[in-house]
Structure 1
């Protein structure tokens, strides 16, 4: 398994990128500032992903330190600074790629994979580790307080023991969120898992289904992260 060090000070974006990278089968170590990342340079991960504007040591200073320790470790810059000069500076300092914000997370994944293949060969592409469809745990019954969920019976009960009447799709969505509790998930991933990759239509159906789920399960701690997606707090 290859290890990626991600340095990004925006918490939600850091978590989102980590989630996507881990889903591809890579180990990810996140950092929120340049100074803590600098202290980890000697550990020599297989890839660095660096923001430029960071608390403490910025990305430009950090890549100088990385390159001083090891000239061959691949580095990708991600930054809201998208002028030609910024790109040129990044490349001159030794970055292998530069991705301007905002970007589609999937594009970053593709660039990471291509760069890893170029540096380490085809073996850098991990075996598929796609999430099992809609499995929240290895047991059929589990709790997400105050709700009790029976995966086999496809039933949810509230704290009073009363059944929460969910449609099949609402129950699938609930299982998806519970199995990804604590992670940021985007609409397209929800569509792929709860509907299918062959779904054709507006992704707004996700918002409608989430609205219905929230209405029926008001104590579900489901957050909307505008511009990023949704996150269910861990139970």
Structure 2
């Protein structure tokens, strides 16, 4: 089944170009000119592309609405303003990637593919400290009960698992979980770790003071 990409972009020419490029790659594209144009969707969206500067409600407002319904679906923000403020604000609010106009449609398609490949892996489930991690659905269960992890909490969990027994610096975690350059304090890693530990208390994650973290074998 083709992945479904939802695009909100008020510039018609750009919207049509992006839609055309994505469809050539086999994606099903739902294209809208504004947040208000998006009505209740009957189909599951696998990835959102949101322009920040939109008529009426902004892309930030749409992202908040999406995150309330699905904390894990990947989101790419696009903006005409190549400003650090937009980038930092977007990433802190939960975006997975950010691209500034003007950009190559091919670059955007590559970013879409990378995010979809990362977020919807086709591997077997993982059992860790009694928790079941479904890699295909990106869901985590504790004895059949869903553990409500955010997208970044899930990415942190998977990164720790893939590097089990190896110490990871805060910067390594920042580079992986936030992906693009992060201009804030690396203590956001500690906050993220604290939230994940609270939701998954049986995880044996060692704090290496002045360095980072390590997941113990369990």
TM-score w.r.t. length of structure 1:
0.50
Coordinate RMSD, CA, aligned: 1.6
- Following superposition, the deviation at residue 40 of structure 1 comes to 3.5
The aligned counterpart of 1:36 is 37
Q: What 5-or-longer segments of structure 1 have no aligned partner?
A: 124-235
Matches of 2:20 and 2:66, distance apart in 1? 24
Q: Give yes or no for contact 1:9–1:54 (8 Å, CA) kept in 2.
A: yes
- Say yes or no: does 1:12 pair with 2:13: yes
1:109-128 → structure 2 map (5 Å cutoff)? 109-121=109-121
CA offsets 1:141-181 (integer angstroms, 9 cap, x no match): xxxxxxxxxxxxxxxxxxxxxxxxxxxxxxxxxxxxxxxxx
1:102-181 → structure 2 map (5 Å cutoff)? 102-121=102-121
Q: What 5-or-longer segments of structure 2 have no aligned partner?
A: 124-218
- Following superposition, the deviation at residue 18 of structure 1 comes to 0.2
Instruction: Check 1:43–1:56 CA distance in 2 against 1; reply closer, same or farther (3 A cut).
Output: farther
- Say yes or no: does 1:84 pair with 2:84: yes
Q: Give yes or no for contact 1:48–1:76 (8 Å, CA) kept in 2.
A: yes
Matches of 2:42 and 2:21, distance apart in 1? 25
- Following superposition, the deviation at residue 54 of structure 1 comes to 0.8
- Say yes or no: does 1:52 pair with 2:57: no
Matches of 2:66 and 2:42, distance apart in 1? 9
Instruction: Give secondary structure in 1 for the equivalent of 2:111.
Output: helix
Instruction: List structure 1 runs of 4+ shifted beyond 6 angstroms.
Output: none
Q: Give yes or no for contact 1:6–1:29 (8 Å, CA) kept in 2.
A: yes
Corresponding residue pairs, total: 122
Matches of 1:41 and 1:60, distance apart in 2? 19
Matches of 2:5 and 2:74, distance apart in 1? 10
- Say yes or no: does 1:3 pair with 2:4: yes
The aligned counterpart of 2:24 is 23
Instruction: Check 1:121–1:74 CA distance in 2 against 1; reply closer, same or farther (3 A cut).
Output: same
The aligned counterpart of 1:189 is none
Q: Give yes or no for contact 2:78–2:101 (8 Å, CA) kept in 1.
A: yes
- Following superposition, the deviation at residue 122 of structure 1 comes to 6.1
Q: Give yes or no for contact 1:60–1:90 (8 Å, CA) kept in 2.
A: yes
Instruction: Give secondary structure in 2 for the equivalent of 1:35.
Output: coil
The structure whose Rg is larger is 1
Matches of 2:50 and 2:79, distance apart in 1? 8
- Following superposition, the deviation at residue 44 of structure 1 comes to 3.6
Q: Give yes or no for contact 1:41–1:66 (8 Å, CA) kept in 2.
A: no
Matches of 1:122 and 1:102, distance apart in 2? 34
- Say yes or no: does 1:93 pair with 2:96: no
Matches of 2:71 and 2:103, distance apart in 1? 27
- Following superposition, the deviation at residue 16 of structure 1 comes to 0.2
